[in-house]
A and B are shown apart, each in its own frame.
Chain A
Amino acid sequence: MKRMKGGEEGSDDSSCESPAEVCKKVRKQLSEDSEPEVAESLDCNWARLPQELLLHIFQYLPLLDRAYASQVCRGWNQAFHMPELWRCFEFELNQPASSYLKATHPDLIKQIIKRHSNHLQYVSFKVDSSTESAEAACDILSQLVNCSLKTLGLISTARPSFMEVPKSHFISALTVVFVNSKSLSSLKIDDTPVDDPSLKVLVANNSDTLKLLKMSSCPHVSPAGILCVADQCHGLRELALNYHLLSDELLLALSSEKHVHLEHLRIDVVSENPGQHFHTIKKSSWDAMMRHSPKFNLVMYFFLYEDEFGPFFNEEIPVTHLYFGRSVSKEVLGRVGLHCPRLVELVVCANGLRPLDEELIRIAKHCTQLSAIGLGECEVSCSAFVEFVKMCGRRLSQLSIMEEVLIPDHKYSLDEIHWEVSKHLGRVWFPDMMPTW
């Protein structure tokens, strides 16, 4: 009885053939055999499925199912351990006392460290609010010595528990990765105790490859520390940090000739105490950025008290996505209309009880790229709102307005306004609603 040889032969050129093609090959081979025994044996030859088919199928299975499958026979067990299946992994570290979600099984973690740490390339850690989970993440990191990671993400899903880990423990774990990887491309370390010296290590080993760095709310980093990154990592395309790290020098470094075009810069402006003072960035620095990377997204999140906006929006700024997480005054929104010509998305959580009619119209007029707007606790008269939508027209792909924002006036009631707006938008539109009961 002929045995299928498809499995062993096929595996070498798996990259050029799709699994569907391999399947066809195998079937063709079988159909050429006229012996009935082979047709019979097809039914019980699951063990002889070509490895690349198995790989393709296993990739669809969640990890647990894959693990069960791997217990079926040696061939499938081998497939389970193919390096391609272990390139990406997300470690979920949760404690029952602080989270409802399950954690990655400790045995699985041991297995991965033992057998697959050198296959890992795209890794993330999701930890809950317990210090235990963050420490467990650091322990795993410390053991990834044979790893050459391309991506690393440290994500706290609730409170920032990495900040509770003893700083030295965290830094040494992180340094292991920085030193061993030498080809880190994406690094996400928001809300962690990373510091200037560890950034230097990052730069020393990965300056050629680093493309994405997200480090919002890292209080131990100074402007000098991040400047070092910008100076050395010329491939950096995406950067997220807090406003206190932003400086004119940083923007100039990111716009230097050697630097690639920046694609995305996210800045969080957060007030620690009421009445906090914020430094200003020169218009010339923003201009330099614009000349160097004309298409870059500048995303700014503001969590300030109303009277802390003094240093902002007094001159033209190339912001594209603007988010006001707290109350922002009419006056500031007026300045936004004047000085943010590149604005694409605007979200205002709260404003107050004076209508934003003029400010919205001004934004519609000057912010010709605006395609998304969200208004929370604000007030706008229906007529002004219709005018706003008319001026923006069909470029508004996202219009998220709470029903309570719209104040009916002599021209439009609430029921009439959704028709008017839908007309100008070219699609059916309703305001966002909240249950009333």
Chain B
Amino acid sequence: MALNSIHWFRKGLRLHDNPALREAVQGAATVRCVYFLDPWFAGSSNVGVNRWRFLLQCLEDLDANLRKLNSRLFVIRGQPANVFPRLFKEWKISRLTFEYDSEPFGKERDAAIKKLAMEAGVEVIVKISHTLYDLDKIIELNGGQPPLTYKRFQTLISRLDPPEMPVEMLTDTLMGRCVTPVSEDHGDKYGVPSLEELGFDTEGLPSAVWPGGETEALTRIERHLERKAWVANFERPRMNANSLLASPTGLSPYLRFGCLSCRLFYFKLTDLYRKVKKNSSPPLSLYGQLLWREFFYTAATNNPRFDKMEGNPICVRIPWDKNPEALAKWAEAKTGFPWIDAIMTQLRQEGWIHHLARHAVACFLTRGDLWISWEEGMKVFEELLLDADWSVNAGSWMWLSCSSFFQQFFHCYCPVGFGRRTDPNGDFIRRYLPVLRGFPAKFIYDPWNAPESVQAAAKCIIGVHYPKPMVHHAEASRLNIERMKQIYQQLSRYRGLGTRSENINLYGEEKPQSGKRVREGRLSERAVGLVEEDKGPRHEHNQRWCLSPRGRVGWKVSFKGGCGGRAGH
């Protein structure tokens, strides 16, 4: 019986270091690489044009590279659960392979597909290659709970065996006698759609600052390593005005989509370090970017409510304000604070902002100034940010809003001062907010303080051509720090900075009796460092599967045959 296999691309959009893909090809007569896309869904999803474009470019690149091996990419319109049974029959499939997806709804989806496959007599092979390590092993090593501090995470990592080596790129030799039957009308049936076909208006759309695809990713990583070697310094570079701009050696979106293997990056970094430093053991800080990503994946993998405040065992319940107008101003770069607005403009236009810029806007939205929920900010990033996937995005937002991970809430970023210290001349502002170009460096971060004559000379009157600042920062931050303190003080026994001085209990001699408060304290105890990680406290672990990520038409509905759900990655 001829072995016909399907390799299912979701993330891992690459031919190098793809062990699951190799399994598909190994000893198979035919192989077909598929990617599922639901065009109906594209228009209504919370994913912006830059992310769609990046994805389509990744798929085009995959298709082009597969062509070199006499194969093609099959882009299937529809949802996996609906379409797989038909494909199994039509193509007489006996093997299905895919890269392991650690995210909770990914695991749920894959479990359903495995069941379908089993019923159809299809062997399923899953390989880990999106993360450096087997995340379940990290959790096991930590007594069954994911580490909630980066330090603890690093400690656990250092006890594990190093990551597995990346496997070879798929070549003609490796393909061997395996072929891909391609029909005449492959382009019509299974071709990569264009942005227009997905319903986007591309008129006037500027070219991509971050072009998608494995080919681009591999070029970039060489450039990235060249630059590191030239600098011969593996320390974290000092932040300057240039760091804010998109770099041709930037890698985060490629890691997110899997165009670049994290393991390949890891080993290339290690090799380079050893060569340059003639030292055999690189410090963990060398892999900073990769390990943060791994940390959030680990924290999220068993927590379907990781992206929510309610019902999330590691998230502190903070009484965020509901304020759609304020949120819109932030999202649309109309806050009146040039530093914030320039960053949000870059984000919307290009799809990437520097991590310190992310800190600045996240702090401004949540605990710094607007006191709006981190979940709202997370949704905006999900739409606009190329490298934001579920785990990393939610985790970072919780971190930056001091909702979890033992964060000190006094680290506040000033929307005027922080920008000024980073880029004193204000070039970044002028680049993304041309309306403010005429302002001198002295006033470009707080143009509302500029005398009328300066505003007139700049041909930009604040309140007319550019909004007035939407909050009074000193007052807002004073209030918000007080709010954070109130919350943290209520979490029993928290004695971090900013709360130590206030010992006297509001209730005087009598202890508060509301059972509710006691419970709340316990729920959040892990989140705020009251119980040492090593001891692994009791806490209510919410095992309910979340029906749908972000509350949209969810996976369960589409399983029954409707449209909707995640667009397959």
Contact = CB atoms under 8 A, between A and B. Distances in A.
Contacts of A135: none
A159 B417 contact: no
B474 A325 contact: yes
Contacts of A99: 319-322
A327 interface: yes
Interface centre among B355, B507, B512 (most CB of A within 10 A): B507
Interface in A391-411: 398, 400, 402, 404, 408
A179 B496 CA distance: 38
A87 B513 contact: yes
A325 B477 contact: yes
Contacts of B478: 217, 268, 270, 301, 303, 325
A402 B392 CA distance: 21
B477 A212 contact: no
A326 B474 contact: yes
A345 interface: yes
A265 to B, nearest CB: 10
Contacts of A321: 500-501
Interface in A71-103: 85, 87-90, 94, 97-101
Interface string A169-191: 00000000000000001101011
A122 B497 contact: no
A186 B507 contact: yes
A423 interface: no
Interface string B407-444: 11011111001100100000000000000000000000
A181 to B, nearest CB: 13
B474 A124 contact: no
Interface in B245-300: 252, 283, 285, 288-289, 292-293, 295-296
B498 A347 contact: yes
B440 to A, nearest CB: 17
B320 A90 contact: no
Interface in A316-366: 320-321, 323, 325-327, 344-345, 347, 349-350, 352-353
Contacts of B421: 350, 352-353, 377
B481 A398 contact: no
A430 B252 CA distance: 26
A88 B474 contact: no
A63 to B, nearest CB: 6
The A contact surface, by secondary structure, is mixed
B483 A62 contact: no
Interface stretch (B113-121, B126-134, B207-215, B395-403): B395-403
B515 A350 contact: no
B449 A436 contact: no
A203 interface: no
B150 interface: yes
Nearest to B486: A155
Given A186-B508, A374-B410, A435-B292, A59 B400 contact: no
B1 interface: no
B498 A435 contact: no
Contacts of B482: 190, 216
B449 A349 contact: no
Given A101-B319, A270-B474, A436-B355, A347 B510 contact: no
Contact of B320 (A100, A188, A434): A100
A372 interface: yes
Interface in B505-520: 506-508, 510, 512-519
B458 to A, nearest CB: 20
Contacts of B399: 434-435
A263 interface: yes
A158 B417 contact: no
A151 B512 CA distance: 11
B296 to A, nearest CB: 8
Contacts of B296: 435
B371 interface: yes
A345 B417 contact: no
Nearest to A434: B359
A52 interface: no
B405 to A, nearest CB: 9
B501 A263 contact: no
A53 to B, nearest CB: 16
A274 B449 CA distance: 9
B292 A437 contact: yes
Contacts of B289: 436-437
A261 interface: no
B306 to A, nearest CB: 15
Given A347-B497, A350-B418, A191 B479 contact: yes
Contact of B508 (A211, A266, A349): A211
Contact of B396 (A60, A299, A437): A437
A432 B502 CA distance: 23
Contact of B507 (A88, A159, A266, A414): A88
A97 B322 contact: yes
A345 B501 CA distance: 8
Nearest to B503: A264
A88 B513 contact: yes
Contacts of A303: 474-475, 477-478
Nearest to A153: B506
A323 B410 contact: yes
Contact of B417 (A188, A270, A350, A433): A350
Contacts of A190: 482
Contacts of B502: 264, 266, 299
B498 A437 contact: no
B477 A432 contact: no
A290 B417 CA distance: 36
B354 to A, nearest CB: 9
Contacts of A98: 321-323
B41 to A, nearest CB: 27
A434 B507 CA distance: 36
Interface string A288-317: 000000000101010110000000000000
Contacts of A436: 236, 288-289, 292, 355
Given A188-B506, A347-B497, A122 B512 contact: yes
B4 interface: no
Contacts of A188: 506
A124 B486 CA distance: 13
B196 interface: no
Contact of A63 (B285, B355, B396, B514): B514
Contacts of B293: 437
Contacts of A88: 507, 510, 512-514
A12 B359 CA distance: 60
A376 interface: yes
A182 to B, nearest CB: 16
A32 interface: no
Given A190-B482, A435-B395, A158 B498 contact: no
A160 interface: yes
B355 A435 contact: yes
A10 to B, nearest CB: 21
Nearest to A346: B497
A321 to B, nearest CB: 4
Contacts of B503: 264
A327 B400 contact: no
A380 to B, nearest CB: 14
Interface centre among B235, B285, B322, B449 (most CB of A within 10 A): B322
Nearest to B255: A437
B506 A100 contact: no
Interface in B328-361: 355, 359
Given A345-B497, A398-B500, A433 B412 contact: no
Given A158-B483, A185-B508, 14 more contacts: A88-B512, A151-B508, A158-B371, A212-B504, A320-B501, A323-B410, A353-B421, A374-B498, A398-B496, A432-B411, A433-B150, A434-B355, A434-B411, A435-B399
The 10 closest A-B pairs by CB, nearest first: A157-B319, A62-B515, A158-B321, A321-B501, A62-B516, A303-B474, A376-B411, A415-B283, A374-B497, A122-B507
5 contacts: A60-B518, A62-B515, A212-B504, A350-B414, A437-B252
